[in-house]
Amino acid sequence: MVRIGYTMMTEQAGPRELVGHVVRAEEAGFDFSVTSDHYFPWLRSQGHSPYAWSVLGAAAQATSRIPLMTYVTCPTFRYHPAVVAQKAATMQLLSEGRFRLGLGSGENLNEHVVGGGWPTVDVRHEMLEEAVEIIRALFEGRHVTHHGTHFDVESARLWDLPDRTPPIGVAVSGERSCALAGRLADLVIATEPKKELLDAFDRHGGEGKPRVGQLPVCYDPDRNAAVERAHDQFRWFGSGWKVNSELPHPDSFDLATQFVRPDDVAGSIPCGSDPEDFVEAVRPYVEAGFTEIALVQIGGESQPQYLDWSEKTLLPALREAFG
């Protein structure tokens, strides 16, 4: 049975609104939720970027059932891995075991703010691997002293640990990240329905572990309005992660996508109110082998209407098709 999730996209709503949205998503019957962790929005038109971990703490107290997850946190630039471990352990306690820690190698858009430069992808993967090892050691309750290639830790210990360690997910986009995830992660994360990513994850030790995908959608009773909003706020999405991870500023994404047309966006993102269009957009993820798919409704102000429609129409249609 495929689980359908809700995305708290911090780039398109303020903190109080995000918490209200996930409360309604729980009421509507979504199976889980994920939260982006940004310092900048992708485009200025999205207009927001509150601190994800404060939002998550509030969401943990405002909800009672729905699982929570970072999708994803970079534990190597803005945050030191020892601090990420402390935040994740605290979130697991606050949520009473509903938290999963999704990690990735990051985007220049968010990580450049601390002034550490932006290394090559190979170095970023080295840093992520070392960070995961540090986080796991701290999750085990040990005093950790570590002097590695990229990080130093001096006699660190987590004093408030949950009974159940937060599962760690790793985002993948190619063979090397799949190998890292297969060895070190409890689940795999991807934003494209590529079976070859899951096959590579399995080859490196991921067989039988959950696999979580993500898909942008744009509900609106007026399909033209949905297409216009998706183009305005999400035309960056089709650029691919080799591009998206490198650009440093929302204006860079605006320039890089200046020739993307509304029809181009509508060809890759389901827009409107026909649930069958949304079902068919989810289908490639299911056929590739994803066990969980988090939907991203485009547009912060459209969330209440989308959540009402999801409860009445979309979730029943998806469960009839895949559940």
Task: Report the catalytic residues.
Answer: 38, 107
Contacts of 174 (CB under 8 A, 6+ apart): 197
Q: What is the Cα–Cα distance from 255 to 39, expressed in whole angstroms? A: 19
Nearest 5°: phi and psi at 63?
-120, 170
Position of tokens 């500023």?
A: 249
Amino acid at 285: Y
Contacts of 41 (CB under 8 A, 6+ apart): 11, 12, 47, 48, 49, 250
| Region of residue 4 (left: phi > 0; alpha: psi -120 to 50; beta: else) | beta
Q: What is the Cα–Cα distance from 195 to 175, expressed in whole angstroms? A: 12
Q: What is the Cα–Cα distance from 195 to 286, expressed in whole angstroms? A: 10
Q: Are 133 and 103 in contact (CB under 8 A)?
A: no
Chain centroid to CA 262? 25
Radius of gyration of the chain (CA): 19
